[in-house]
Amino acid sequence: MGPSSADVMNNEAPSAKPKPWLWENLPNYEISARGCSQRTAQEIDLLLLALEALELQSTERMLTTAKELNLSDVIPNRVVLWRLRCTNPWRRSYMRRYLHLEQAKALTIIASARSRQLTFLIRQLVLAEQQLRDKELPWEQNFRLKWYLERFRSHFKERMNPRRARIAQYLELPDSLNQLAVSLLHKLLFATGTLGTQRLWCSLFDGEVR
């Protein structure tokens, strides 16, 4: 595969500042020479989609976080971020490209950093979901949880390819889409921990390495 425009753009603004500690300390797992598996790319994009549903202007915040963590050489702008996310095979604009290990690492570090910023909200939503489930009440009873679920469903519908059987299934059953949104919320909660990024990074390759 020839160099993508995303790769070309990566070289435009090399960052002189050191990368975060995690950059060197997240292991480089043995994966295919082409890049990360489709499941890894899909999972990262869904986690970012959940973050987008949690806060307004999420893309700008992700780019600011990339800059703060000196990851701008991997993710310099909105277009590159979008191109990397389009390695998710569920997307309407799926590009049949592979996510490289370094790109996956940068996105994972950003996702963890964003979720750490939102720790209080994520905890609140997970607690609210548990309380409503225990009382057998609908999720709409909690305004903030309802807002998150509606935004997640809307983003999902807008960006995922309805011609794929799995997506069609999700779109037909909004409750299953809510379940997916809640499960992503749980994953983001675990990513907020002291060793959350390492745990999240390892899980992205679980069942994918040689």
Q: Is 89 in the site for another protein (CB under 8 A)?
A: no
Q: How far apart are CA 59 and CA 152, in angstroms?
A: 14
Q: What is the smallest separation between the CB atom of 15 and another protein, expressed in angstroms?
A: 27
Taking every pair of C-alpha atoms in the chain, what is the biggest distance, in angstroms? Answer: 55
165-184 residues near another protein, rule: CB under 8 A: 182-183
What is the rounded CA–CA span in Å between residue 84 and residue 202?
20
With CB under 8 A as the contact rule, the residue among 133, 140, 143, 168 that binds another protein is 133
How many alpha carbons lie under 13 Å from residue 41 in its C-beta half-sphere?
26
* Residue 209 interacts with another protein (CB under 8 A): yes or no: yes
Q: Is 137 in the site for another protein (CB under 8 A)?
A: no
Residue 200 touching another protein (CB under 8 A): yes
Among 12, 68, 140, 206, which residue interacts with another protein (rule: CB under 8 A)? 206
Identify the residue whose tokens are 């057998």: 136
Q: Verify binding: residue 123, another protein, rule CB under 8 A.
A: yes
Tell which positions 17-76 bind another protein, by CB under 8 A: 29
**Interatomic CA distance for residues 43 and 13, integer angstroms:** 27
